[in-house]
Amino acid sequence: MPDPTTDAGLKSLARKGSVLSRTARGAGWIIGWRFVNRALGLVSTLILVRLLVPSAFGIVALSMNLMQSISSLSEAGVIGAIIRNENPDRELYDTGFTINAMRGLLTGVVVAALAVPISRFFNNPAMVDVLYVVAVGSTISALENIGIVDFRRFIAFDKEFQLKLFPRLLSVVSGITLAFWLRNYWALVDAILINQIATVIMSYLIHPYRPRLTLSGWRRISGYSVMIWLITLVGVAQGAASNVVIGRVSGTGDVGIYGVGAEIAGLPSSELIGPLCRAAFSGFSEARQGGDNGATMMLRMLGLMATITVPAGFGLSLIAYPLIKLGFGKEWLGAVPLLEIFGIATTVTIFGSIASTLFAVQAWLKASLKLNVALMILRLALLLALVPPYGLIGAAIAVSIIDVVSQIVYFMVMTRRLQVSVSAIGARIWRALVGTGVMTAVLLLCNLGWGPWTGRNPILAWHMAGAIALGAATYAITILLLWLASRRPDGAEADLLLTINRVTRRAVDR
């Protein structure tokens, strides 16, 4: 059968330029969307917290978390299966749409069935109707036009940005308006539902493809999707293990403190590495279809990730005390040592992140599943061994050890399968490592590093701002000098300077 995207004339989505350059631009659009979405969310929250009571946010948060947890348990990797397929046709697209629709309906039915028991568990009758609406929203979202997969398939993330922006703006405006009118949690619930409905409508307006219900291509998806589902389940279990052990041994209060430290330390990963890997999946898929195993692109992406995330991780670790005290208050200072540990440990996640993306594209899923199961067992064993005697510090050490071990294992498997030498990887990341070391040394010499900081909050804020500025300047100057001394090799520095040059030229031209 013919390619449905060719029939619709959508091959124009494939931009001019190399796969790597389009992947980098795609990552820029994804990061841009995350920034815009966070900014809109912050503005909305600052207004809504003055109009609604905290319990309203709690009801909606619990309801959405339940839906998202159930949805993640049924994640089948349909989108990835279509993107990495060399010749996706209408049968594959329509089957993917049907599977997603069934998954959304199943999630909605389960959420609706749990509405009464969950409301009784939390002793909150209001959650029943909210969960019913959340169930409807899940079913509606699953009807999203499968054709928009082309935006990822052809690395056209600017189109995806357009798809998401209008519904998000509509949701923010409607949420604030309804909050002034209703003054209760229904303003939040309705805003979420409006966003879901608007996104589905936009998906059909922005892409001409019209899906049909069929499961005729399920065999072409099932092998890949089942493995992705199993890997997702293991990932969910890994994430739950820490909270379960800490909650059982130390209580729910420590679970909250642990969550804060882990979430802040994970920002470089969630806000930078995540978007880069999402774009890289499409880039690796296109390269694979052209007979390229992705080794060259992997090295380039790894260098870019290291240049950004390694100093960010160490930086968060260094300023952990003022960041927690200013952002969360002195009651949360127990999260400081966790952030100091996690900040350093998460700098190595670049290896596992890029490797797991490659594993998914190349369908090396059995190896990925075996690694994840082994790491989950090891994580649980270390948590049980270290949390009882050492509390939260033991949990941080256990999880950090597993993070480092997992990155080493993924690194070894990836380099062997792609036949990439350790020296080739070292050539891409050594300047970032040295620059981060110099930055850390300078901040410590200036007493702007690890440990408790003295002074009132305004003084802490001033010193933290100074530390960030000094650290960023030291790091940037160091890697620039090292890059120049190395005779300007191709790599992250060249890519970043080229991007800055292009943005500057466009600004001047306008």
Q: What is the Cα–Cα distance from 51 to 42, expressed in whole angstroms?
A: 15
| High-pLDDT (> 70) share of the chain, % | 90
Is 498's pLDDT higher than 70?
A: no
pLDDT band with cut points at 50, 70 and 90 for residue 8: very low
Supply 451's token pair.
Answer: 């440990």
Residue 82 and residue 3 in contact, taking contact as beta carbons nearer than 8 Å:
no
Q: Is the dihedral of CA 121, 123, 125, 129 positive or negative?
A: negative
pLDDT at 506: 60
Average pLDDT over residues 134-142: 91
Q: How close are the terminal C-alpha atoms of the chain, in Å?
A: 45
pLDDT at 135: 92
Residues 387/255, Cβ–Cβ less than 8 Å: no
Tens of pLDDT, residues 92-120:
899 989 999 998 999 999 999 998 988 88
Please say whether the beta carbons of 151 and 163 come within 8 A.
Answer: yes
Q: Which residue has the higher pLDDT, 125 or 193?
A: 193
**pLDDT reading at 9 higher than 50:** no
Range 255-275 average pLDDT: 75
pLDDT at 19: 66
Length of the chain as a residue count: 510
Mean predicted lDDT score pLDDT of the chain: 81
Query: According to the model, what pLDDT value does residue 509 have?
Result: 61
Is the pLDDT at 275 greater than 90? The verdict is: no
Neighbours of 7 (CB within 10 A): 13
Q: What is the pLDDT of residue 94?
A: 92
Q: Does 296 have pLDDT greater than 90?
A: no
Contacts of 439 (CB under 8 A, 6+ apart): 311, 314, 315, 471, 474, 475, 478
Nearest CA to 68 out of 6, 131, 5 is that of 131
- DSSP states along 384-430: HHHHHHHHHHHHHHHHHHHHHHHHHHHHHHHHHHHT--HHHHHHHHH
Residue 189 has pLDDT above 70, yes or no: yes
pLDDT at 389 over 60: yes
Whole-number Å distance between alpha carbons of 204 and 209: 7
* pLDDT for the residue numbered 7: 43
CB-based contacts of 374, cutoff 8 Å, min separation 6: none
The three-class DSSP label of residue 318 is helix
Average pLDDT estimate for 439-460:
87
Rounded to whole angstroms, the maximal C-alpha distance in the chain is 70
For residues 263-278, average pLDDT: 76
Higher pLDDT, 364 or 1: 364
| Cβ partners under 8 Å of residue 398, min gap 6 | 379, 382, 383, 385, 386, 387
- 336-345 and 295-318 are packed helices; what angle lies between their axes, rounded to 10 degrees? 160
The pLDDT confidence band at residue 481, using thresholds 50, 70 and 90, is very high
pLDDT band at 370 (very low <50, low <70, confident <90, very high): confident
pLDDT at residue 10 is higher than 70? no
- The phi and psi torsions of 266 (rounded to 5 degrees) equal -85, 0
Q: What is the pLDDT of residue 6?
A: 46
Q: Tokens 């001047």 correspond to what residue?
A: 508
Higher pLDDT, 236 or 318: 318
- pLDDT (tens digit per residue) in 193-234: 999 999 999 999 999 999 999 988 888 877 777 777 788 788
pTM, entire model: 0.74
One-letter identity of residue 504: T
Which DSSP category does 144 fall into?
A: -
- Specify whether the CB–CB gap between 133 and 64 falls below 8 A: no
Average pLDDT, integer, range 138-157: 88
What are the pLDDT digits (tens) for 38-90? Answer: 788 777 877 876 777 767 777 777 788 778 778 877 777 788 888 877 778 88
Q: What pLDDT is stored for residue 248 in this prediction?
A: 74
Mean pLDDT of the 458-474 span:
91
